[in-house]
Structure 1
Amino acid sequence: MNPIRVLCLIAAAVPLLYSAPKIVGGPFAVNVTSRGATVMWIVETEELSVRPVGEAAKISPSLHAEKTDLANLQPNTRYEYEVAGLKGSFKTAPNGAEPFTFIAYGDVRTRHDVHRRVIAKILETGVPDLILQSGDLVENGHDSSQWPTFFDIERELLRQTAFFPSLGNHERASKDFYEFFQNETGFYSFNWGNAHFAVINSDINSISTSKSLRDEFWERQKRWLEDDLAGAQKADYRFVMAHHPPYTAVERRQGDNPHVTALVPMFEKYKVTAGIFGHDHNYQHYLKNGVHYIVTGGGGAPLYDVNKPDPAITQKVVSIENFVTVSVNGKVAKVKAISIDGKILDEFEFQSPVK
């Protein structure tokens, strides 16, 4: 059993604003590695606006991210922290092939009662070492009033694990997303034990109104992804996460994001173990040329019918709220898709190397 390391208390910074800040999100850990992490917390403040002389002062709420970067940590060790009386913990990534568990889910933007039930069921299964969230955390990422609801529902889960999200189309490339989760582009990668994870930004329509700028962004990201996967060939597992899936059984959404579909040959070339996606509000599992494609978009948003699966690659499709657990142990990883009522929807294994 690894020891719990207690970090020093983190004082919530108080910026020079109209009133003292209120913590409405977190604390939670992002960018967790074997040697470091960033603890985030989101504060709501009232900012006094600049106005012409003689007009009434306008006070409006605003969200800001506060953070503390942690370094020189020990691998595979649980650390505790405290921010303004709010306690949390996370476990650093292992360097070797120690067992670990992660959970994937997404599309929690609406039906908050359902979202709460999904999180409660996740907690019942046991706290994972890390979370992959496939996007659409809120209905409109530019509406600051929606973020506190997300953080309230996810509070007990986020305070116990490491959080790795991808950008969904409903985040709309908002500055809040990039600030809250400490990522400038929406694409990034990390290692966890014997697994490599690459997260890509598939919501290019929100990047710019200029087609040339969108194309330039996608080409830059695609070059980065190829270099990243090429450099991860020693990992036992390679996972890719994006919001938009390359395959779907939702007929009206087929062909929704040709950019991601065009990445399939790259996934096959570099022997990606599995792609994890959201966007479609259901559970779908495909297997093509050794690569698994998992859609787990059943976190709370209204469900979509699965009415046109491709029989050549379909393993399982079902329209129900869900999440996916992956337990990695050496060369075998056991996967379960679990419904909101705790039923196992799908169960299979990843094996290394990819066959």
Structure 2
Amino acid sequence: MTLAGKVILFLGLSSSFPRLAAAASGTLPIEALRQLITADPRHSRTIMWQSKTPLEGCRLQYQGPDGAMKNLPVNMESLDEDRVVNYYYTCYLKDLAPDSTYHYRIWQGNIATPWQNFNTAPAEIDAFSALIFCDSQCGKTYAGWGQAFRTVWQRHANAHFFAIVGDIVDNGQQEWQWQNFFANLEGVLPQHIYVPVMGNHECYSLIWKFCRPRRYELSYNLPANGSPELQNHYYSYDYGPVHFIVLNTQMLELKDIHPDLLEKQKTWLRQDVKNHRAKWQVVLMHKDILAYDEYQEGSKTMMSISDVGYALMPVFDELGIDLVLTGHMHTYRNRGHIHHLQPAEKGPVYIMSGPIGNQQYTVPADKTFDRSAIYQPTPENYLLLNASNEKLSVTCYTVNGELVETYEIKK
């Protein structure tokens, strides 16, 4: 495939690699093979997987366009939670050539997985598209989520990557939630670069109390943010003319664990934007900037601007953020530009979408800020983001293919 960043199942490579074919017998008990976004997808890639038994001495073997075969060590971490031990494996590939195909497999002893491949992003990306999902959390079964994911990718086969903007699962500590989320993507998840965003439901314990999102932290090794205790909570990456900023909006859920989350994040955000002057600055974060009938502990209200909005919108104004994409409320709302906490003709554009999972609600309107909305209760929906040097275009579709709206930003 020529599309940057895509990974497809790559079989039948034994003829290309005769020295290695004889060892690829048996199977390795790996689960949820996935590729994750890196700070620069042109030159690097993170490959992760997990298992229920430790795979001692396993490594990742890969070959690039120069034909040289390389072996990389694998980092392993474990988590004993919900009566199950899971082992998480990470391998980081760096110094890769842009716009090139790489083949890889996981290797332990005399057993190896089938070959996979991925393409690095081109050195210059003038335009691209990406899929934005929100709230994939499900009740009872994730089969609908898996089918929705496949349907959307078939419709937009040229998308370069996808993001899930929080509430990936319904409960962050339940084994069946994570197992079903990943199991329903089996065979297709390795084909696409994955951009995860933490949501509040990743911070719920087995008894639905706030907790450290340990399973999320171990499931996704993401670009460094300079804060070891908050690694994988927030990060950024470049793709073509866009600098993407992924934020953690769980200040309420993590207040006893990370009371300084907001201030550390704001300090990092200011420096990050200063260091990355792309044409466009796009924020991905889970909780929305409006309350929509959800009680806010800080402002003691259930409507208008949320606590997250009060905390972050002035910083977005200050930094010249172009677009903020959120989820959390399980519906689509376009608020257009908001500046100085008021509807405006300048300032960041705020668009909320979701759900892509099967948790559906009826959400009241905000007559001050809503410029457009989908009908209620909201069906499963997603966003297609198209980016070029000339404009950002955000289109909302239902999973069934109904066009909801297209909104463009130019500057």
TM-score, structure 2 length as denominator? 0.71
Confirm whether residue 99 of structure 1 aligns to residue 106 of structure 2. no
Shift of 1:222: 1.0
Shift of 1:255: 6.4
Aligned position for 2:343:
none
Could you tell me which runs of 5 or more consecutive residues in structure 2 were left unpaired when the two chains were aligned: 21-26, 56-82, 107-111, 204-211, 223-230, 296-301, 338-345
Aligned position for 1:219:
263
Conservation of the 8 A alpha-carbon contact between 1:250 and 1:309: no
Q: 1:78-89 residue pairs with structure 2 within 5 A?
A: 78-83=101-106, 84-86=112-114, 88-89=116-117
Aligned position for 1:236:
279
Aligned counterpart for 2:218 among listed residues 159, 179, 185: 179
Distance 1:269 1:90, change over 3 A: farther
Aligned position for 1:335:
394
Aligned counterpart for 1:166 among listed residues 192, 197, 214: 197
Distance 1:30 1:273 in 2: 21
Shift of 1:200: 0.8
Confirm whether residue 38 of structure 1 aligns to residue 69 of structure 2. no
Distance 2:269 2:97 in 1: 28
Q: What is the letter of the counterpart of residue 70 of structure 1?
A: L
Q: 1:174-323 residue pairs with structure 2 within 5 A?
A: 174-183=213-222, 184-209=231-256, 213-214=258-259, 216-232=260-276, 234-247=277-290, 249=292, 254=303, 257-288=306-337, 289-318=346-375, 319-323=378-382
Aligned counterpart for 1:70 among listed residues 93, 103, 107: 93
Distance 1:292 1:328 in 2: 15
Distance 2:319 2:382 in 1: 26
Distance 1:187 1:335, change over 3 A: same
Distance 1:268 1:209 in 2: 29
SS in 2 for 1:189: strand
SS in 2 for 1:45: coil
Conservation of the 8 A alpha-carbon contact between 1:246 and 1:258: yes
Shift of 1:156: 4.2
Conservation of the 8 A alpha-carbon contact between 2:138 and 2:170: yes
Shift of 1:41: 0.7
Shift of 1:75: 2.3
SS in 1 for 2:392: strand
SS in 2 for 1:154: coil
Q: How many pairs does the alignment contain?
A: 327
Distance 2:3 2:235 in 1: 28
Distance 2:303 2:32 in 1: 35
Shift of 1:283: 1.5
Shift of 1:157: 4.0
TM-score, structure 1 length as denominator? 0.81
Distance 1:271 1:96, change over 3 A: farther
Aligned counterpart for 1:123 among listed residues 131, 153, 160: 153
Distance 2:354 2:369 in 1: 22
Shift of 1:33: 2.2
Aligned counterpart for 1:25 among listed residues 20, 32, 54: 32
Conservation of the 8 A alpha-carbon contact between 2:247 and 2:283: yes
Distance 1:193 1:280 in 2: 30
Distance 1:270 1:113 in 2: 41
Identity of aligned residues (%): 22
Shift of 1:39: 0.5
Distance 1:286 1:62, change over 3 A: same
Shift of 1:119: 0.6
Task: List per-residue Cα deviations over 1:256-300 (Å, max 9, x = no partner).
Answer: 851343211221222212111111112122112342212122111
Q: What is the letter of the counterpart of residue 379 of structure 2?
A: I
Shift of 1:90: 3.9
